[in-house]
Structure 1
């Protein structure tokens, strides 16, 4: 049986900065995180030896994965900050850190200028960004879920991944504009810097918006409870393991088909850069359009049925999508569009599902640590494995890996309690 939260309303004068600040800051995270994967073909040889293009790309993707290793620590630090000092403070700190790291990449000297020091700068910037990203998503998800009315929490939670996809889509559109207006030489020389520098500017705007936000009612009523962290995490170890099991399938399928698919199509399938980016933009628009529908459906029929539609539907369609994705942009779009429909069902309500697992005093850190571990291990390696396994063993082998993880998540969902409408206080 679910519990019903006493209805409460948020005045529109408070709601607007809360929603805009949450969405804009979260879009920045995924813009900065996504442009790395999108622009790898252009900047890889700027940070590593130019003698071998594939080696440089793989090295850059390895650093992409290393950035994820820092996420669990960042999840712990910023998640604890969110639970002790406030969601608003933690969210402001994360976007400021993300912006600084993005700007550092944009102004970094190249391998030709300073040798391996360029590679080190890229590595440090991605680790710092990984720390911040490890705390951003749990803090933002917790904040949005706590300010949402219980009966509409699934619908409201879709804003998180709408913002995520929007941020990534802006990066893809920027890549499309740059590749159409600049020559290949110009893209490799300076064009790749533009999105990282803009990320720093966007970060300043996000920090300003988040400073105008108010703290959540649930956190305020909890009174900054000083609970002992580790005993509480051990007490809720089943929920932590559930977060990992639930996240592995969604993380890998999302990174494979939403974030990294255009770059993979360019590097491995030799689809034109502009065509692959257009396919990514169009499928992302579809993804954003259907997410509120799934969120609203979960508020009516429950979280579990919608989650299972997502994982099982995506699992069934993985191999057909792989065979559909060929060497032209139209086929790439068709495959990504099918993926978008099923992926959107799950990711649209994950923020609500995660928030409904933990009590207020450890809601952010309780989610942040296991979620960051899952994303670090499985999400961070997804673009690299997609490229490496595809080149060595064939794309079908990588698809089998994704299928297995979706089955794992489906089994976890089947054993979860239904939490629709649960009281978050």
Structure 2
């Protein structure tokens, strides 16, 4: 029994660690958007260069559709394990590529074109990582620990974002700004690529989930899982997207892309913003695991409702709170928001996974996750930056998130209990 528990914990930890490496790589691009814009676009106006960088950021998200389709098909037809190895490798190599990529000044238009291709490769890999990991971990974990297992997976993924932010903040403190903007920004990408290659090695001994093996031996696998989804499960895909959108959008806006707005519109110190958002990543990861544990005790539905109601309140008052300009209140806001997002993370992915049978689970998760991230979250930086620019109203992003929260709250309250 002890050996089985040790094996389960080791497997879950390796999956979480691999996810952390991948999301470290993917999050770096958002954090580095301003300095990347300076090096890879020939624009005299920084805001235009930043907008083009966000365009490449969005391209990475759109590529998740293709990656999700390809790797989830493999996951449902050949097994969950093999996509694990490929996706992590495909994330590591482009990240190393960004670390050594010549700038626009050195090779001209080729620089942004190659950057775009590398970002697409990252998105392609990430599109298959999370769905396969979710299906594998959910099937591998004990019956009374499935929410905790999902919390551990996404806690690990969030630790990847935390580590990216930590490295970014540390280097900005250690290296003079001119030096960091010149070449220091390449260091985090080099670190990410090396960590990804290490992750491939660590994952090589993972074994296939018993549920999938049983399904395969019983000849229950489908040749084209996506056809089954479009025939019978499309409505659940839309519901899953609605469940994912509020916390995903809030995480992206408040912790990843709002630093420029916080600096220019709310007048917070850039260094302080980096430190606070880094703490936010850490709290989000810790409480994602904690609320995963609580979801096993009190049901995922209750924890999710708690998280969404809290997010409703925080998003509706965010502009007022940030407008106060108080460092202490800003810090408390980010801490509360990150803890609250942990409640969503620790519950929503179990709900989503339980909605679909084993034969189409990876493909369904890929479609829901990558539509959420590829279509909606991918355009969020462009959408919110344009809203703020054209309307001169910095309160609108908070109300946009509030609307998403209310929509998901209405549906989860009425949602069929058998999935929870």
Query: After superposition, where does 1:13-412 map in structure 2 within 5 Å?
Result: 13-223=6-216, 225-227=220-222, 228-233=224-229, 234-262=231-259, 264-266=261-263, 268-326=265-323, 327=325, 329-393=327-391, 394-412=393-411
Residue-pair matches, total: 414
CA distance in 2, matches of 1:403, 1:90: 36
Q: Distance in 1 between matches of 2:328 and 2:257?
A: 17
Gaps of 5+ in 2: none
Shift of the 66–54 alpha-carbon distance from structure 1 to 2, 3 Å rule, reads same
1-structure distance, mates of 2:313, 2:329: 18
* 1:374-395 deviation line (CA, Å, top 9, x unaligned): 2112211223333332233221
Are the structure 2 counterparts of residues 175 and 331 from structure 1 closer, same or farther at C-alpha, using a change threshold of 3 Å? farther
Cα deviation per residue 1:330-368 (whole Å; 9 max; x = unaligned)?
A: 443222112112211111122221221111111101110
- Residues 286-327 of structure 1: CA distance to partner in whole angstroms, max 9, x if unpaired? 223323332232222222221111112201221323322255
Moved runs in structure 1, 4+ residues, more than 6 A? none
Distance 1:405 1:362, change over 3 A: same
Q: Name the counterpart of 1:3.
A: none
Q: Which moved more, 1:287-296 or 1:145-154?
A: 287-296
Of 214-223 and 264-273, the range deviating more from structure 2: 264-273
RMSD over aligned CA atoms reads 2.0
Structure 1 pair 334–215 and aligned structure 2 pair: CA distance change class (3 A):
same
Residues 17 and 209 of structure 1, relative CA distance in 2, 3 Å threshold: farther
Secondary structure of the 1:223 match is helix
SS in 2 for 1:236: helix
CA gap 1:157/1:226 in 2 versus in 1, 3 angstroms: closer
Secondary structure in 2 aligned to 1:70? Answer: helix
Secondary structure in 2 matching 1:300 = helix
Counterpart contact for 1:17–1:213, Cα < 8 Å: no
Under a length normalisation based on structure 2, what TM-score does the superposition of the two structures give? 0.93
Query: Does the aligned pair in 2 maintain the 1:71–1:132 contact within 8 Å?
Result: yes
Distance between the aligned counterparts of 1:271 and 1:362, measured in 2?
47
> Against the structure 1 CA distance between its residues 220 and 264, is the aligned structure 2 distance closer, same or farther, given a 3 Å change threshold?
farther
Given that 1:291 and 1:348 are in contact with CA atoms closer than 8 Å, whether structure 2 keeps it comes out as yes
Question: What SS is found at the alignment partner of 1:292?
Answer: helix
Q: Is the 8 A contact 2:80 2:136 kept in 1?
A: yes
SS in 1 for 2:395: helix
Partner of 1:5 in structure 2? none
The CA deviation at 1:127 is: 1.0
Instruction: Deviation per CA, 1:229-253: give whole Å up to 9, x if none.
Output: 2441122222222212212222211
TM-score, normalization by structure 1 = 0.92
Partner Cα separation in structure 2 for residue 173 and residue 20 of structure 1: 21
